[in-house]
A and B are shown apart, each in its own frame.
Chain A
Amino acid sequence: MFSTNIWIWIAAFLTLAIFSFLYKDNPLYRFAEHLFVGMSMGYIVVIYWYNNMVPNMVNPLLVFFRGFGNFSQVWLNGLVLIPTILGILFLSMFTKKYSYLILLPLAVDLGLWNGVTVPAVLQADVLKQAQGTLLGIHTPLLSGQVWGVVNGLLILVGVITTLSYFFFSREHKGALGVSSKVGIWFIMLGFGASFGYTVMARLSLLIGRVQFLLTDWIHLIK
């Protein structure tokens, strides 16, 4: 009835060791926890080395220093030296004397990524969302969908009142006070929905492990 695969047994033992924490903290739990952290880090280092460092840094530098291929190929590969040196400069933070050198890669990183992401984020998260909030009423109104209009109105009211709650330049009195109070209700509903989904997510993880124990280990269910 039980699995004959040693790895399934090890996985089942580690799962039960982690679950033992629900009763109280114990050495078995701590052993499994430390093993998990160590294994994960080791695995990630190896994956990063072979998938990222070797093809993107080691191999081009080997071509450059050994002078394989034609002149332009060698020099193109040599360009990898620039990000390599910038990357190494991150390690300067571990020395007192040269720690200021970290500013150089940080400046490049921040400048580059701000340039790449700011316009795209503005387009995807602000403009498109603002458009969606308005079209949420307009589109169903044109096609005569009553519940679509109600849904769109709810979204519009929710967005405006929630934004008004975060408007701190005036005291929340009068119309702004009413609007911000309605905004709090929308925020609370949002938190409630997120919490409900969080409960479901955590239960799913438990169910996943119980399914593993009952299916792969004990063979009680298919």
Chain B
Amino acid sequence: MSWRERLFKIDRRVLYLLIAVAVVVPLIKPLGLPTAVTPHAQHLFDAVDRIPPRTKPLLLSMDYSPSVMPELQPMSLAILRHCFAKKVPVIVMTLDPNGVGLAEDAILKAAAEYPEIKEGVDYAFIGFKAGYNVVMIGIGQNFRATFPTDGSGHPVEQVPILANIKNYDDFAMVITIAGSAIVESWIIFAVTRYHVLLGSGITAVSSADYYPFLQTGQLCGMLAGMKGGAEYEELLDKHDYSHAPKRASQGMDAISSAHIIIIVFIILGNISYFLSRRKKA
């Protein structure tokens, strides 16, 4: 068997092993590669940073399930840390039934790092509501009718941060962290109908679909995939808002090294393919 044939017949498990090594080694021994902040991540950070402390709350909608947790949970944590550090009130909800546990976990983790932050005053979790389009329109028409209680079942009138919320006008901005096309629904219903200032955090798979909405200003900023989470973590670190372990940033070295392996094998695969075609001709 010639080296060309061998190259063409590499066992896929060899590739898996190489990818595993490329991922594990940089996580144990970080390479320290820099993370450049894109303008879209910077714009989202600036939009949150401009909200004055203890005024209108930010609505953070964590619309994803555990299947995309490694990409999106660092974003949610970073935004919560930003709000808690800046004393920006934050109301968390989810439009994904699997997102309840993730949202509670993120809030508990971030709130533990800021002991002065109080539940019900600085933040509230209002839980999950089914039928996301209806919920988005419902918040615009009557917040209390859509969310009569918070996530623990307390009537909204008894929760200080929620007591004066009537509709989108009472929010400084909305950020959706989503692993599906929910972002587009937010644009269609919240931005178009109610002129909400919307930012988003999305999976890398869907990020190419949402760049046009940045150009038109329908999204004020965007975090794309684990890289987006890493960028926000870097910005928090740079502005002294948080020095907590940066999960997404840790993953960027691993992503870079795994990408190199994939690029090398794409090139090798193509060379081998063209050589075998020439041989046949």
Q: Show the binding face of A for B, using Cβ within 8 Å.
A: 22-23, 40, 43-44, 47-48, 51-52, 55, 113, 116-117, 120-121, 123-125, 128-129, 131-132, 136, 155, 190, 193-194, 197-201, 203-211, 214, 220-222
Contact = CB atoms under 8 A, between A and B. Distances in A.
B207 A205 contact: no
A153 to B, nearest CB: 13
B52 to A, nearest CB: 29
B247 A211 contact: yes
A43 B184 CA distance: 26
Contacts of B204: 197-198, 200-201, 204
Nearest to B148: A55
A40 B208 CA distance: 29
Interface in B208-228: 208, 212, 215-218, 224-227
Contacts of A201: 68, 71, 203-205, 225
Contacts of B98: 40, 43-44, 47
B275 to A, nearest CB: 23
A44 B27 contact: no
A204 B255 contact: yes
A116 B133 contact: yes
Interface stretch (B105-113, B124-132, B159-167, B231-239): B124-132
B71 A214 contact: no
Interface string B18-33: 0110011001100000
B71 A222 contact: no
Contacts, number: 130
Nearest to A131: B216
A128 B227 CA distance: 28
A209 B68 CA distance: 11
A40 B65 CA distance: 10
Interface in B26-80: 27-28, 67-71
Contacts of A55: 148
A201 B262 CA distance: 14
Nearest to A159: B212
Nearest to B191: A124
Contact of B208 (A47, A48, A194): A194
A124 B98 CA distance: 28
Interface residues of B, number: 54
B70 A128 contact: no
Interface of B: 13, 16, 19-20, 23-24, 27-28, 67-71, 97-98, 100, 127-131, 133, 137, 148, 184, 187-189, 191-193, 203-205, 207-208, 212, 215-218, 224-227, 245, 247, 250-251, 254-255, 258-259, 262
Given A47-B100, A48-B97, A121-B188, A204 B212 contact: no
A43 B205 contact: no
B28 A199 contact: no
A174 to B, nearest CB: 30
A210 B21 CA distance: 11
A204 B226 contact: yes
Given A120-B193, A129-B216, A22 B188 contact: no
Contacts of B191: 124
A55 B208 CA distance: 38
Question: Nearest 7 CB-CB pairs, A to B?
Answer: A208-B70, A132-B216, A201-B204, A204-B226, A197-B204, A52-B130, A47-B97
25 contacts: A22-B16, A44-B97, A48-B130, A51-B97, A52-B130, A117-B133, A120-B189, A124-B187, A124-B192, A125-B184, A129-B216, A132-B217, A190-B208, A193-B208, A197-B224, A201-B205, A203-B254, A203-B258, A206-B19, A206-B258, A208-B70, A211-B250, A214-B27, A214-B28, A221-B250
B129 A52 contact: yes
B137 A116 contact: yes
B155 to A, nearest CB: 12
